[in-house]
Every structure is written in structure tokens, then in C-alpha cells.
Copies of this chain bind each other. A is one copy, B any other.
Amino acid sequence: MATETTGETADEPTPGCTDGLAYDVFGRDCPSRDALRHITDRWGSLTLGALLDGTFRFNELRRRVAGVSEKMLAQTLHALERDGLVHREAQQTNPPRVDYALTPLGDQIARQLRLLIDLVEDRMPQVLQAREHYDAQRTAE
């Protein structure tokens, strides 16, 4: 493992992944489960979605991802940076400023995520109708 860190790892057994060969989010300890969670959790999904629009400074991003706390946004950016999806660049200006942008990998994943978000937004009338129906039945019981 230590001598081969740049190549394809799909042929080596991967601890925690279902058959020990392929990454599988259904494997309890497969690292792909963590990665998916960083991408899709409450703030991760909105942060990636926002960064599809370009480069942001921390406070700009915080305004765009309405409702996120400073601490949660910092944690979210950390996890996405560590997973190689977000690039953090400290500018040598006075005062110093830090820009956040998607990496090429982050851009690929954020685009796929955006298709899911678009579909969910598009289907919201059906979702709200289902909620109304469900709640009305519960009240009637």
C-alpha cells in the first residue's frame, strides 16, 4: 500500500467495502460512505451547489448557504477540502483573504448533485401534495 499511492486501487482489497474489491456505500465501513455523506449532508450539498456558481470567500459563501453557522461551514469546507472536492486558496493580500472553489473532481460531483437537486425542486408540488395527503390521513385516524 505504502509504495503505491497514485494508481488505481480497485484491484486491491478495500477494507469495509462489500466484496473487498469495489467501493460500495452499502459496506458498513467502506470509505465511500463517508465521502457520500460529506457530499450530500445538509450543508455539504448546499456548499457544493453554491460553488458551482464560482469562487467564493468564506463570508460570501456563508450568506449564500443561508442558515449555516460559521462553525458548520468551516467543518463542511474542511471535509470537502480533505476529500479533494474543494480548493482553498489563501491570497497574499492585506488584509489576507481566502477563496474557495471547486476542484475538477468537485466540479464533476457537484454537477451530478445539481441534477438531483433540480429534480427534487421540480417535483416539490408532488412532494407537498403527498405530505398533505399523509397528514390528512393521520388526522382522520
Contact = CB atoms under 8 A, between A and B. Distances in A.
Contact of A113 (B31, B116, B124, B128): B116
Contacts of A83: 127, 130-131
Interface in A110-141: 112-113, 115-117, 119-135
A90 to B, nearest CB: 13
A72 interface: no
Q: How many copies does the complex hold?
A: 2
Contact of A127 (B7, B84, B120): B84
A121 B66 contact: no
A82 B112 CA distance: 26
B26 A121 contact: no
Nearest to A131: B82
A55 interface: no
A124 B84 contact: no
Contacts of A32: 120-121, 124, 127
